[in-house]
Structure 1
Amino acid sequence: MGEDHYKERKLKEAMFYYHSLQRRSGRFQRFSKGAQDSITDKIPATVHSAITAAIRQMIELSLTSSNYIYPIQVEEKWSFEQREKEVRKVINRYKTTARLEGAGTGAGGILLGMADFPLLLSIKMKCLFDIGRIYGFDVTGFSERVFLLQIFSATFSSGETRVKLWEEIRHWNDVSGAIEDVNWRVLQQEYRDYIDLIKMVQLLPGVGAFVGAIINGKFLEQLGTAAMHAYRIRMLK
């Protein structure tokens, strides 16, 4: 009875999260997006190129290699609630790693700040792969890797793109066989737009370490929360 009650409660939380993402952006959000677009145009081309190259490499590794698969203990007998306890431990561990990495690269100015992009992407994907395995899925398969990238893309997108991606996540078991043509160009553009303004501040002398630590931790928290809700919807709906 306890396990069933837990599942029911967590599915409600996930559906609330899902519906909250469907709401239209408010005036402030639209203003923020416009301000971000204008600042993005002022970011050096080398920074844009570094981000784009890192995202492209991350996508290729996610779909084809074992770079993000590390030994972790997963028990088949775990209940859904126990799995989620383990997932939270993983998220907190990667948040700590991301904060330390962000503080280190942020303190080094623009060159080390640019190095933060691929490092942070790697941390995020390792976290996602671990979460998928703890929930009991075989992340060595192509379809499951696409699902992880779908979560990643939905987390770091905005507006209509985010709504569309979450709608696909909600019906993943119905459409996963036909969704292997994820628009990777959109993924790159959305992610780059999402982090450009925030990460640009990390390149500023004096505040880079502080910003890097705080923002990197927030990014992992966002990703972990989205992943938990995505798997709840997929497994419990």
Structure 2
Amino acid sequence: MEAYEDKVFHEMCLWKARIQRTPAGGSRLAKSLQNKINAFIPEKVHWLITLTIEKMVKAVLFGSMYTIGAKKKERSLQLKEAYVKRTARHYKNAATLEGVITGAGGILMGFADFPAFLAIKLKMLFEIATIYGYDVKDYKERLFILYVFKIAFSSQPKRQEIVKKLENWEKYSQTLPEEVANFDWKDFQLEYRDYLDLAKMAQLLPIIGAAVGAVANNKLTHQLLLNAMNCYRLRYFSPIKQLSP
């Protein structure tokens, strides 16, 4: 492989190794506490939250495919990732500004941050997929985007499950349901909501909410970018090399 590919292959292996580590005690404790809280929430409330997230994500998924251009022509991996990073800067700036506006508005505007920030992140993933050369009109490519989203915003054990699926995506995708309605939306919303609860709760506080919203949104968007790049690197390198843990 060329020098750039050697470099990013190494970065990908380090990313994968971090995912495969045993979760730290603090993160296991936080997840255990969140699971106990979830157990006290009535099932009807979970159902309502799940339905809301499902509708929001579907609207973005099926709406974005009509606003993103066709998949890009074949390019080198280095050129693709240069375009990915340039494109992501636009979304990071939009997410930061959105965090400032909603964070400054207190609790009510803080809740409005949820769908707005979700839309920004998913739209960014659509553009990243097309830059890497994938057709986002393909139903299974949209599911791949959801798995990328999950691996960025899930607990460590869940990330370990997902990375195994993504590194064997071509084979795994053959086992996926043919309808997006059969996707596990409850698991998706619980992992996403629990992860962001820890990162963004302070955004709802007065005075400091704008600063917290800006920093949290910028950091989380960058985190999504890094995970997305490594997920697509998994697909790029899987036919070339046997991935090391």
Q: Which TM-score tier does this pair reach, normalised by the shorter chain?
A: 0.7 to 0.9
Amino acid at match of 2:195: Y
How does the TM-score come out when normalised to structure 2?
Answer: 0.84
- Choose which of 130, 140, 144 in structure 2 pairs with 1:133: 130
Moved more, 136-145 or 19-28: 19-28
- Choose which of 89, 92, 103 in structure 1 pairs with 2:89: 92
Deviations 1:49-92 (Å, cap 9, x if unpaired)?
Answer: 996555222332255x2335534586514321111000001111
Quote the residue 1:104 is aligned against: 101
> Residue 225 and residue 127 in structure 1: after superposition, are their counterparts in 2 closer, same or farther (change >3 A)?
same
Q: Which runs of 5+ in 2 are unaligned?
A: 239-245
> Residue 131 and residue 149 in structure 1: after superposition, are their counterparts in 2 closer, same or farther (change >3 A)?
same
Pairs within 5 Å for 1:70-219: 70-71=67-68, 75-180=72-177, 182-219=183-220
- Choose which of 50, 59, 62 in structure 2 pairs with 1:61: 59
Quote the residue 2:242 is aligned against: none
Give identity over the alignment, percent. 39
CA distance in 2: counterparts of 1:49 and 1:203, whole angstroms: 24
Quote the residue 2:13 is aligned against: 15
Quote the residue 1:29 is aligned against: 27
In 2, are the aligned partners of 1:106 and 1:203 still within 8 Å (CA)?
yes
Deviations 1:18-52 (Å, cap 9, x if unpaired)?
Answer: 12101111223223435656788999xxx989965
Q: Matched residue of 1:66: which SS? A: helix
> Residue 106 and residue 51 in structure 1: after superposition, are their counterparts in 2 closer, same or farther (change >3 A)?
farther
> Residue 75 and residue 179 in structure 1: after superposition, are their counterparts in 2 closer, same or farther (change >3 A)?
closer
Amino acid at match of 1:7: E
Deviations 1:150-206 (Å, cap 9, x if unpaired)?
Answer: 000111101321110111111112211113354221111100110113222111101
Cα RMSD between the aligned structures? Answer: 2.6
In 1, are the aligned partners of 2:31 and 2:155 still within 8 Å (CA)?
no
In 1, are the aligned partners of 2:60 and 2:119 still within 8 Å (CA)?
no
> Residue 5 and residue 28 in structure 1: after superposition, are their counterparts in 2 closer, same or farther (change >3 A)?
same
Q: Matched residue of 1:157: which SS? A: coil
How does the TM-score come out when normalised to structure 1?
Answer: 0.87
> Residue 68 and residue 11 in structure 1: after superposition, are their counterparts in 2 closer, same or farther (change >3 A)?
same
CA distance in 1: counterparts of 2:164 and 2:4, whole angstroms: 24
Number of residue equivalences: 231
In 1, are the aligned partners of 2:50 and 2:186 still within 8 Å (CA)?
no
> Residue 149 and residue 30 in structure 1: after superposition, are their counterparts in 2 closer, same or farther (change >3 A)?
same
CA distance in 1: counterparts of 2:187 and 2:3, whole angstroms: 39
CA distance in 2: counterparts of 1:68 and 1:126, whole angstroms: 9
CA distance in 2: counterparts of 1:91 and 1:197, whole angstroms: 24
In 2, are the aligned partners of 1:109 and 1:203 still within 8 Å (CA)?
yes
> Residue 52 and residue 199 in structure 1: after superposition, are their counterparts in 2 closer, same or farther (change >3 A)?
farther
Amino acid at match of 2:18: S
> Residue 71 and residue 31 in structure 1: after superposition, are their counterparts in 2 closer, same or farther (change >3 A)?
closer
In 2, are the aligned partners of 1:91 and 1:224 still within 8 Å (CA)?
yes
CA distance in 1: counterparts of 2:206 and 2:163, whole angstroms: 37
Amino acid at match of 2:73: E
